[in-house]
Structure 1
Amino acid sequence: MNNSSEESYSLEDVKDDLDVLRAVEDRVVDAIEAAETPEVLEYLIREQQFDLQHEGDQGVGKIRRAVLQSSKASQDLKRTVITRGDDTPARILVPDEVERNAKTALRTGKPVVLYGPTGTGKTTFAKQLALGQSVGYSLHTATPSWTAKDIIGGIGPNLSGSSGYQSLNYQTELGAVSEAVKRARDFDIPYSVILDEITRADISQIFGPLYTAIENRNQTLIETDDGETIELDEDVSIICTMNMSDRTVNELDNAITRRFAMVELDEYEDDDRRELFDGWLTDNLGDIPLLDNDDLLDLFEADYDGINNGSERASRGPIMRFGPMHYRDVTIFLREALQDESLYMDEPEAAVGQAFRTFIVPRLLNSAAFPQIEQIEEHYRALNKSFEMFDLTPAAELASRELEAEQRRMGSYEQ
């Protein structure tokens, strides 16, 4: 095979020296950088999968970076290497109107916020939007400690030198958005950044400088240590998700609703929701005959309806907005529980109650006020009576214990 000082690597060169390429990562990089034709890159990455062999299924190492920087690599091949290990499902499950609104909003060039109650598939849909809009994406989940530096970047400390002789200096650190701009620029690709669950942070604080840049695209976000200025780029899409279980759009800072496109992800049509439930039951429990999938489907529907709309089984109205995606976790729990004798293979009806206790009730209680906790407890007591083929006692008792704890706290406060 040619060496790195020669002009190019042909497909024949690469095929003649596969053993060396399998053993030496740097030789793969040489072959990519001096590839004679796009077919060389396709062969190295798609057929031989040298990036997977040398770098594993995630991250951007030397081989993937070489592909991303190559003028001979197609956008599709760049997408392949930058999304290795990504398990985002191809099928979009959100309502058609939501999908159309989100895609249209992205085309306007505005940052997009997907908002709605927990369990409506916002994060998964954000990744699907990113993959449809861009070659690659990065995902960052907000925390209460986030500041504008996490979005834009800033100056941070850096220790250098060997052990015992380290010195402290300061260098520029890119934030989530500025890093996305840098990747789009360096790799010549459209790129997306997902800011997940932004209501965990102080939105006004973290987005302050970004608001200015949205209004003026020539505004410099940050300057790197090399003197490179970073501005918002039309090749960079910003997609945010926001859990609205404890907030409404009216409570948000007006600055974000004026500068971001707000796309609500809430209601699923009955047929669409049943299709989701039925698909998860078939995929995860279709080969396990210990439970009746039709009964489980009816339970999912009754639970979802009682939480979101109220039901005859309980004496009160709706509890809260709650999405259907939570029930996928229930089916996965049951799949694992019913295939092991040391788990729940001999007690399938108990497994159902434990699945609800593990994945549904805690998520309801997490954002519930006292009256809602009372409703949750009443709801699962009623469900347990209606669905005698399952044992939902664990779910009901978890809600009951939380209700008792809340009553004690209220009593202590009143004293």
Structure 2
Amino acid sequence: MSSGKPRFQEYDRDEAEEYSGFLLTNAPTAEDFIKQTTDPKAIRYLVETHTIDVDVPGAGTKIKEAILTSETAPLDVKQTVAQRNVDLDDIIVPETVERNARTALAVGKPIVFYGPTGTGKTYFAKQLALETCIDYEVHTATPTWTPADITGSIQPETDDGEITYHRRAGCVSRGIQEAERYGDNYAVIIDEITRADISQVFGPLYTAIEDDKQVIFRDDDGDGLTLTDDLKLICTMNMSDRTVNELDNAITRRFAMIELSRYDDDDRAALFDDWIGELESGPDLNIDLRKLHTLFERHHRGINEGTTTSAEGGIMEFGPMHYIDVTKFLKHACKPSGPYSGEASLAVGQAFATYIAPRLLNTASLPQINRLASHYDSLDDQFSFDLSAPADLARRQAEAEEREMGVNAYE
């Protein structure tokens, strides 16, 4: 094997195991093996048994690249290599959402996940990308975005006083290049698309989505990039930013619009059970977990549906995913060595003031802010947990809003 130029096309999985010790210590030979072998089981063996290390700088990077660009390596093996350091939990969105999303991607439709904050849109987008693609990248839209951020632009560059121009790909164009380089599915996730001017920013994509011959960008070599089914485009938008009815019809015609709404009672209760159950696995936190579950439920219902003492209905739409941050906070804060050891009641209120109330107040109008303050006052009366912190936070924001309105009234 070490004499002359090896011909690895003839080597199969068994021989990969036989020579694994040599491949482990000889990175250039391992790279050649991956590039030449025609047996996918051989590459699978090398990756799954950690015979080759793709995390070693230099040599490992070349081996990783060889696997990801291999026509022989199976998709799931490529995913293992590309996503080695990614750790996402099980998919928990409703089954119909997952099935619709998978179907849309399979038939080449870009996706927009929409719904209230806290329904897990971005998290599920990452999970979906990891399960269907080699890898993915995430971009968050901003009000300053232009079509160049999507498709690309020509940028000037100065070198020794001379100006030259090079082409810089946008996020979708780069995704197309990655999909071509890997020869497999690659995902681009654009988060919070309604922060940008969708009609302007996405305009160049609309024709390309309907015409697979439409060139959206040319690289420095002049090669044209077109949308292919290997590029999976997944977008998210919060309902607080804009309703679906306010979207440009052009995007609703060309994208699969998939709603992630509030979870039903049983699904939401299961989530709360799982997260609160994590608090039982550690040291004694001195938290009444049954009451904590009830607090989550009453808080959520009051926000979304209104309280039994109010005839106004819900305050706003709010998903359940935010509550996991409360349980993570409590698990650390209330342990014997934690900063809130022995002060569980105070810790619960501080967790809500840190993770829940600011997210609600971020998009609330003045009437909603006042109702949020009243809601927290009511919960403070009902529970032994000290919820004065989020209530005070809401009142201070209401006062600030009222002062601002007073200033504006005299301008």
TM-score for both structures, normalised by structure 1: 0.90
CA distance in 2, matches of 1:235, 1:277: 37
The 8 Å contact of residues 288 and 338 in structure 1, kept in 2 or not, is answered as no
The 3-state SS of whatever aligns with 1:336 is: helix
The 8 Å contact of residues 193 and 236 in structure 1, kept in 2 or not, is answered as yes
Counterpart for residue 29 of structure 1: 31
Counterpart for residue 114 of structure 1: 113
Q: Map 1:3-402; keep pairs closer than 5 Å.
A: 5-8=5-8, 11=16, 14-17=19-22, 20-21=25-26, 26=28, 28-35=30-37, 37-48=39-50, 50-55=52-57, 61-89=61-89, 91-158=90-157, 168-289=163-284, 290-312=286-308, 316-387=312-383, 389-402=384-397
Query: By how many angstroms is 1:46 displaced?
Result: 2.0
Cα distance change on mapping 1:392 and 1:32 into 2, 3 Å: same
CA distance in 2, matches of 1:280, 1:211: 41
Query: By how many angstroms is 1:400 displaced?
Result: 1.1
TM-score for both structures, normalised by structure 2: 0.91
CA distance in 1, matches of 2:146, 2:200: 6
Cα distance change on mapping 1:28 and 1:144 into 2, 3 Å: farther
What is the CA deviation profile of residues 386-411 of structure 1, one whole-angstrom value per residue up to 9, with x for unaligned ones?
11x21111111111111111111112
CA distance in 1, matches of 2:157, 2:275: 48
Higher mean C-alpha deviation, range 361-370 or range 399-408: 399-408
The 3-state SS of whatever aligns with 2:190 is: strand
Query: By how many angstroms is 1:302 displaced?
Result: 0.3
What is the CA deviation profile of residues 356-388 of structure 1, one whole-angstrom value per residue up to 9, with x for unaligned ones?
00000000010011111111111101110011x
Query: By how many angstroms is 1:40 displaced?
Result: 4.0
Residue type matched to 1:45 in 2? Answer: V
What is the CA deviation profile of residues 316-359 of structure 1, one whole-angstrom value per residue up to 9, with x for unaligned ones?
43111000000011100111111253500121111000000000
Cα distance change on mapping 1:97 and 1:342 into 2, 3 Å: closer
Residue type matched to 1:152 in 2? Answer: T
Higher mean C-alpha deviation, range 228-237 or range 123-132: 123-132
Query: By how many angstroms is 1:138 displaced?
Result: 2.2
Give the aligned length: 403
What is the CA deviation profile of residues 127-179 of structure 1, one whole-angstrom value per residue up to 9, with x for unaligned ones?
2222333333222221222211121112224466xxxx586532122222222
Query: By how many angstroms is 1:285 displaced?
Result: 4.2
Task: Provide runs of 4+ in structure 1 moved above 6 Å.
Answer: none
Cα distance change on mapping 1:17 and 1:275 into 2, 3 Å: same
Higher mean C-alpha deviation, range 237-246 or range 354-363: 237-246
Gaps of 5+ in 1: none
The 8 Å contact of residues 14 and 31 in structure 1, kept in 2 or not, is answered as no
Query: By how many angstroms is 1:19 displaced?
Result: 6.2
The 8 Å contact of residues 14 and 40 in structure 1, kept in 2 or not, is answered as no
The 8 Å contact of residues 24 and 30 in structure 2, kept in 1 or not, is answered as no
Residue type matched to 2:34 in 1? Answer: I
Residue type matched to 1:177 in 2? Answer: V
Q: CA RMSD in A?
A: 2.4
CA distance in 2, matches of 1:331, 1:99: 26
Counterpart for residue 2 of structure 1: 2
Q: Percent identity?
A: 48
